[in-house]
Structures are given as structure tokens and as C-alpha cells.
Structure 1
């Protein structure tokens, strides 16, 4: 069985004069990342790997989860291909994961993450909100074979406030 944890980056700030890739989190994003990562910590088995988009807002969000879940630096990776909004690159990453990993967390962006959560999971999500968490389990031995799984859990910031 394979388990995919997906986290959309927390709320980012548009107040800085930087390119999209370098936008930081705003204060609310930092607060939500703390809130959701702590809740997730209490409800899941930690992933063997966390793979994050290298965009500042996603990477910063991923670091909150890395800390909360006590994932070591050797099991924390960035991948520029997760800076994807359509989902094709994200699916290639998922299907190319090492089959020795049973539980993997990816941190990235919409619209890709909402689309993939709906494509792979069995629970419709209208819009994966910022800092939203989705857990999908697959009855598969190989990541390349994950097609349709079971959406086991969603944790959204609005549900924790």
C-alpha cells in the first residue's frame, strides 16, 4: 500500500516586489502552517520523504511540516518540477517515486494539487485551500501504478479555527 500526503502551500504575500517563485508567506500563512502541521502530526504516521516545490512559499510551508513531523534533513528534498500549476509534472513525480517509500508528502501549488487530489482520490474537493492537507491511500505496490485511491483524510485551516 502507498500513501500520498499532499499539502498546498500556505497563504502567500503579494506585498513584496519579487517574482512569483520568490513570494514569501504572509503572517496568516505562517499561522496556518503551524496550526495544520501540528494537527497533521497528531493524526498521521510521518512520511519517509517530504518533497517540496522550490518556490519560497511552498518550501517555507514544507519546513513547518518537516519540523512538526520530525523528518530528517536527508529525507527532505526540493524539486523544481513541483512548481507546476497544471499537474502533469506533479503526476510524473508521483509515478516516479521510489517504490521503497510507502508514505510520501509532496508540497506544491494549485490548480495542480486540487486537480490531482480529485483525480487520484475518491472524495471531491472543490478547491484545496492554502495550507490544505489531503491523504490518499492506494492499493498498489508501485508508485507507477497508482491510479485511483481512497481519500482518507483532509485537514483544512478553516476547520481548525
Structure 2
């Protein structure tokens, strides 16, 4: 069994004149990321491997989750399309992998996984700090095309506003 924790970064700031990849989280995003980390720990949804975009907002989200595991910061995950995310995940070695990225790719990737969508009104638009927990009956991430089971789904605003 493999578990995917698929997360979009928390709400970022839109400061003028800043390159997109350098945008930090805003105050709401900081609260949401910390609350999502608490939720992950409370539910025991803890990764043993992390794949994270190199953008400032994904790095800051990860820091505020207060979850430690071997982490690979990958420039290719920055604004990646679903197929690029799938390709990166197929190279993972962990049993439970947290993948932290950006929309629209991360939300489209969640929708492309062969799972029954979770019963949550925000799943289709995958807002900031949205997190999907999916279990796959596979022994190796290269077999990712197997149907999975959506175990849980939450967004940062469920806990922080």
C-alpha cells in the first residue's frame, strides 16, 4: 500500500514587483499551513518522503506544517502539469509521499487520479492549502495508474478561519 498526500501551497501574497516564484505566504496562508500541519499530525497522515516545488510559497508552506521527512526540492514541480507531477511521483521511494505544488496542475492531477472524488464542496477547484489523502494498492510508485481510494480531503480554511 502506498499513500499520497497531495497538497497545494497555502495562500500567497501578491506583492508588486516580485517574481512569481519568490512570492511568500500572506498571513492567512501562514495560519492555514500551520493548521493543516496540525490536522495531518492529528490524523496520522505523515509522510516518509516529501517532494516539494522550489517556489518560496511551497517551501514556506512546508516549513509551517512542522513535518519532517527526507525532502526533495524539485524545480520541475513549479507550476507543473499533471503528467509532470505523475512522472515525479513515479520516481518516489517512500511509503507515504507528500507532494507539495501549485494550481492548476496539482488540482488537475488530483482529478486525474483514478479515485472516487471526496465529498467536499471545494475538491473541484482545489483551493490554496487543499490536501487530498489517497491510498493506492501498489507496492511501487511506478504502478501509479492503479485505482486508489480517497481517504480524506481538507482545505486550510476548514481549520484556520
TM-score, scaled relative to structure 1: 0.89
Match of 2:150 in 1: 151
The alignment partner of 1:127 has SS state of coil
**Residue 131 of structure 2, aligned match among 111, 128, 133:** 133
Which SS does the other structure have where 1:14 is aligned? coil
SS in structure 2 at match of 1:50: strand
> Unaligned regions of 5+ residues in structure 2, if any?
none
Partners of 1:154 and 1:2 lie apart in 2 by 17
RMSD between aligned residues = 1.4
Structure 1: tracts of 5 or more residues without a match? none
The offset of 1:105, in angstroms, is: 0.3
TM-score norm. by structure 2 comes to: 0.89
| Matching of residue 44 in structure 1 with residue 44 in structure 2 | yes
Q: In 2, distance between residues paired with 1:104 and 1:16?
A: 34
Contact 1:131 1:157 (C-alpha < 8 Å) held by counterparts: yes
Number of paired residues?
A: 154
SS in 2 for 1:134: strand
Offset at residue 88 of structure 1 (A):
2.1
Q: CA deviation at 1:60?
A: 0.7
